[in-house]
Structure 1
Amino acid sequence: MASAPALGILAATALARRRGAAGGLDVSRWQERALIAPEIVERAHSLALDPILARLYAARAVRDARELRLGVEELSPGEGDRGLLGLAPAAELLAEAVRQQRVVCIVGDYDCDGATATALLYEALSLCGARALRYIVPDRFRWGYGLTPALVEHLPRETEVVVTVDNGITSVEGVAAAKARGLQVVITDHHLPGAVLPAADAIVNPRQPGCPFPWKSSSGVAVAFYLAAAVRRRLQEAGDLAPGMPHFGRLWDLVALGTVADVVALEHNNRILVQQGLKRLRSGRARPGIAALMACAGVDPAETTAATLGFTLAPRINAAGRLEDMGLGIRLLLSEDPGEAAELARTLDDLNRQRRSIEAQMSAEALQLVDDLPDCGHNLGLCVFQPEWHAGVVGIVAGRLRERYHRPTFAFAPVGDGFLQGSGRSIAGLHLRDSLADCVARAPHILERFGGHAAAAGLRLREEHLDDFRAVWNAVLAERLRAEDLEECIFHDGPLPSSQLDLDLARRLEAAGPWGNGFPEPLFWGRFRICERRTLAGGHWRLHLDDGAGRRFEAIRFRSPELPPGPWIEALFVPEVNRYGGTERLQLRLQALRNGEENGRTE
């Protein structure tokens, strides 16, 4: 570990280099992924496995062919020796509530994972016979995140049972307030717990102490799905439901959308969940709300991938929670009326356009703030704030700064009564939520509340404490970060002979998904000569490349104001299928570029 002053100097140097880099020229370190499980490569022939895919799987720690099976029968059971702790009492409580038609209120969250989890549990319990269901989503500007005492006061008066989805594991005071009101409380969550668990009637969270469930990266909607299945099982066993009824296949699209949207690691269990949802979407069996959203976004259901869910559909759902009320998103997901769904989808699409406009302005201002602060480079983490910023968009702004400067970043906006809401994004090597816990240990008075994951976290503090937070957080970062953490490293899958680079390979790679966080899409290295280049609207580039042996390739480079001058470049690229006008062509999506020479030396 470098000393704090040395880290500060390294941070300033790294930031200066990234400031000075051309928009299209990558200044990060490139490193080929190691083969974590080389045995899958050795067994590729006996497994009838494509050698290229075998190499990719080996670099993603796939050791056994079973890990490539994504049928529903491979899904880990929610109960048993390796099941979810607390699932049994939670399911029994809710099954009894359904029998007695007690009023159950689902407390959701204002992101896509929370919205899909809310819709899923509401629909599943309805299918099981519940008729007294309600749901509520915290207003991020008035009540903040999760089951707070303020939210408990606003629960429907008739509520008897509260079930949280995608939140609640740190809601100690909120659960106490609900219990004081005489309510039964079930917590379902997937976030990291605090030092003290809430005194709920049941807690279902794979991250809680003592839970043997192996898939700690499960999303909030996945946990809700397991709970719904357990409730159905108990009602079936008691004779309240016919065997095998109701069918829950219609819930798969919600599970897939929420899982991808929350950027959880695509471990084997999560890949099964996503794959089942993608199969349903590709077959044209999406629920009306998702079908309307896909139509609004111009998505062909048959071509849906995990990237479609994460980058096309999820932002439109999230726009409701960022700018308005996530109730809009939940209404869309629950709608059975195609006309209503189409209208709600158009509303969400409009909100997403507004969100992009607000984000563009805020991001430009944030970049200027960093560039205008001469001492900013000596801070290990970036903290930016403007009094006019929108609290619903600060997380995206933090992500933009993190991408550009490769620094853990918090962006803040006012939320009234002298409070600021902060949203943060981290880099590899720093657990962001744990860094905030360290801040609280050092200065308990600074943060009103906080929570989150390794890569993303949120907090609330008083505006007068912002400078104190900057100082304390940077002191924590000086202890948690290493010098190498400040240098971005892009991992790739090595060279790919251009003779193997064709449309068939792109199709095989696409079919081998779903790819995503923790199971990254294939990224190859290559050297090409730029033959043609032209700009596209939105700051994108369309290129024609030559491999030096007469083979030419179409390529696309997104969000890049400039390109290396070339003519030779080194590139990290994703081979993909470009579908347009009923035809399919190979396209290279360029992720990173450097100047290069034909003889193999890097400039």
Structure 2
Amino acid sequence: MSSENVLLEELNYTKVYEILTQRDLYQGIHSLKDLPKPYTLEYVQEGAKLLVQCMRENQKILIVGDYDADGVCASAIMLRFFEAIKYPHVKLVIPNRFADGYGVSAALLEKHAQDASLVVSVDNGITAFCAGEFCKAHQIHFIITDHHTPTQALPDADVIIDPKIPSCQFMQKDICGAMVAWYFCAGIKQELQVNVDMKAFLGYLAMASIGDVMPLCSINYTIVKKGIAWIQSADAPFAQVIRSKIKTINAENLAFRLIPLLNCAGRVDDASLALKFLCADTLESAQEIYLQLESLNIKRKQIQVSLLESAQENIIITEHFVLSYGEGWHSGVLGIVAAQLADIHQKSSFVLSLENDILKGSARSYGGLNLIESIKLVGEYLLAYGGHSGALGLSLHRHNIESFIQALQKNLIFTQTSPLEILGLMPFAQINRDLLCMIESFEPFGEGNPKPIFLTRELCIAAIKPLGKEKKHYRYILQDRQSNICHNGIEFFVSQAREIGRIYDVTYEISRDDYTKGIMLKIIEMNEKAI
């Protein structure tokens, strides 16, 4: 994104407020009372009736979660809900990525569902055809709750709750798996006519929505906003630990500092550790588990660095995507490495691990490529696939890889993407605490509600301070040449040296310094001016 020759409006407090207000983030959902009722999510009522019938007969219920942040939060909601209604005959299993693979499967049910009368999936199941066959053969009821895009065929299940099913008219299609699970629990509450505070799960919903990069508008915007407020004040041990570790609780900090910890357990060990953190009953226990998650995240980063190098050495580059695979690559970091390759090559990316002649891995989108719709057109070459427009998992026989690449190149579907937009020209004299607080009032920022980006021309670097062990980040004092007003700025992963006295056009976000609580300009781009 270059700021050269860009015609932009000069901004002030009033103009920024007007522009952000036009985003219409609430879309009619200004409070929890405005949320759609549970039964407006298709088949929640049918699922609730079936589950309550099993409860009244004291039957055993098996819940199958998922090992990412969304799946772990969905699992936490289910566990806490059944604790609240005091139903003891519930068992929850999160598949181990390495031993069990993804989602509810026949093999997993063979181990855990022999005495169950009902299986409920959360954040997975929409492509669980073998699990459906298993449940039917063993006369086990099967309820799928998921948010992933279905294929043309659906698994054999008693009830499928998924807003992405074409017949579902729910007001927001793009909600996370934890949100679907929460709505299902709300339906169960309504069917039982019991008193359960559904606001107690808002923190889980916020973390899940942020972790799965849901668009922050309508239902998601209000839920995440309320959920962050809940984390800021709740007595729950995990919330207390988060507050002690993250000085400013907002969507951005949760995305970069907490969500990786929730994800890393399932990536390199077992997701049950993240679930234990979210459901810890004591502060001491939550603190201890948080430290374990931090250690696992360090291990994850080390594995990731090594695998990225291998992926770069084995890369296949096409016009619109790159693909890399190797034998025995660590399956827990394939998605992260795919995202890194997408950023490096500015193309969508596939990263696959080869085991027993089967390639299995993850893909990440770049530049508007709709992965799930594209993959649907070449499904004949795949053993399995599932996911979203921006990310998916897939597997195929090794001998099909060349045919898959050739076929995919001919069947790519792109959707329109919004470029990273500069809101306007911001005079340094207009930047103050009032402007910062007004911008913060539009949080949470993220997908669908990007943090506003500003441009100020001809700023002089008055001071430089390198940060971090490897000195890759820099803190500046930036001075406006016209007004002589100064503001602090920070730039991460600087690729070229900056010098005091040089003049730049600077693109940035206006943020709050976590430590001083003052204004900090988070720099996105600096273009040097020859003056």
Using the size of structure 1 for normalisation, the TM-score is 0.81
CA distance, structure 2, for counterparts of residue 534 and residue 467 of structure 1: 50
Report the aligned-residue RMSD.
2.7
Classify the secondary structure of the residue corresponding to 1:252.
Answer: helix
Does the 8 Å contact 1:85/1:213 carry over to 2? yes
Q: Match of 1:586, as an amino acid? A: I
Does the 8 Å contact 2:510/2:520 carry over to 1? yes
CA distance, structure 2, for counterparts of residue 336 and residue 32 of structure 1: 56
The structure-2 alpha-carbon separation of the partners of 1:313 and 1:128, relative to structure 1 and needing over 3 Å to count, comes to same
Confirm whether residue 202 of structure 1 aligns to residue 159 of structure 2: yes
- Residue number among 205, 212, 231 corresponding to 2:188 in the alignment: 231
Q: Match of 2:54, as an amino acid? A: A
- Residue number among 435, 438, 445 corresponding to 1:505 in the alignment: 435
Does the 8 Å contact 2:70/2:209 carry over to 1? yes
2:320 matched to which residue of 1? Answer: 380
Classify the secondary structure of the residue corresponding to 2:517.
Answer: strand
CA distance, structure 2, for counterparts of residue 523 and residue 142 of structure 1: 45
Does the 8 Å contact 1:450/1:460 carry over to 2? yes
Q: Name the stretch that deviates more: 173-182 or 68-77.
A: 68-77
Structure of higher RCO (CA pairs closer than 8 Å, 6+ residues apart) = 1
Question: What whole-Å deviation, never above 9, does each CA across 1:71-109 have from its counterpart, x for those lacking one?
Answer: 222222232xxx111011011112223333321111111
Classify the secondary structure of the residue corresponding to 2:509.
Answer: strand
Q: Match of 2:377, as an amino acid? A: D
Deviation of 1:578 after TM superposition, in Å, equals 0.5
The structure-2 alpha-carbon separation of the partners of 1:504 and 1:597, relative to structure 1 and needing over 3 Å to count, comes to farther
Does the 8 Å contact 1:70/1:275 carry over to 2? no
Confirm whether residue 160 of structure 1 aligns to residue 160 of structure 2: no
1:56 matched to which residue of 2? Answer: 20
Does the 8 Å contact 2:29/2:35 carry over to 1? no
The structure-2 alpha-carbon separation of the partners of 1:395 and 1:471, relative to structure 1 and needing over 3 Å to count, comes to same
Does the 8 Å contact 1:507/1:577 carry over to 2? no
The structure-2 alpha-carbon separation of the partners of 1:262 and 1:29, relative to structure 1 and needing over 3 Å to count, comes to farther
1:476 matched to which residue of 2? Answer: 411
CA distance, structure 2, for counterparts of residue 364 and residue 155 of structure 1: 39
Question: What whole-Å deviation, never above 9, does each CA across 1:114-163 have from its counterpart, x for those lacking one?
Answer: 00001101211221121111111223234332222222212243211111
Does the 8 Å contact 2:20/2:442 carry over to 1? no
CA distance, structure 2, for counterparts of residue 27 and residue 384 of structure 1: 31
Confirm whether residue 518 of structure 1 aligns to residue 448 of structure 2: yes
Within 5 Å, give how 1:58-137 maps onto structure 2.
Answer: 58=22, 60=23, 62=24, 67=27, 70-79=30-39, 83-137=40-94
Does the 8 Å contact 1:217/1:267 carry over to 2? no
The structure-2 alpha-carbon separation of the partners of 1:481 and 1:90, relative to structure 1 and needing over 3 Å to count, comes to closer
Confirm whether residue 344 of structure 1 aligns to residue 344 of structure 2: no
Deviation of 1:27 after TM superposition, in Å, equals 6.8
Confirm whether residue 578 of structure 1 aligns to residue 513 of structure 2: yes
The unaligned stretches of length 5 or more in structure 2 are: none
- Residue number among 324, 328, 340 corresponding to 1:400 in the alignment: 340
Percent sequence identity is 27
The structure-2 alpha-carbon separation of the partners of 1:105 and 1:32, relative to structure 1 and needing over 3 Å to count, comes to farther
Deviation of 1:33 after TM superposition, in Å, equals 10
Does the 8 Å contact 1:31/1:492 carry over to 2? no
Classify the secondary structure of the residue corresponding to 2:329.
Answer: coil
Q: Name the stretch that deviates more: 147-156 or 393-402.
A: 147-156
The structure-2 alpha-carbon separation of the partners of 1:287 and 1:469, relative to structure 1 and needing over 3 Å to count, comes to farther
CA distance, structure 2, for counterparts of residue 30 and residue 394 of structure 1: 40
Q: Match of 1:158, as an amino acid? A: D
CA distance, structure 2, for counterparts of residue 27 and residue 173 of structure 1: 50
Classify the secondary structure of the residue corresponding to 1:154.
Answer: helix
1:421 matched to which residue of 2? Answer: 360
Within 5 Å, give how 1:181-196 maps onto structure 2.
Answer: 181-196=138-153
Does the 8 Å contact 2:176/2:212 carry over to 1? yes
Using the size of structure 2 for normalisation, the TM-score is 0.92
1:265 matched to which residue of 2? Answer: 215
Aligned length: 525
The structure-2 alpha-carbon separation of the partners of 1:31 and 1:193, relative to structure 1 and needing over 3 Å to count, comes to farther
Deviation of 1:526 after TM superposition, in Å, equals 2.0
2:466 matched to which residue of 1? Answer: 535
CA distance, structure 2, for counterparts of residue 266 and residue 280 of structure 1: 17
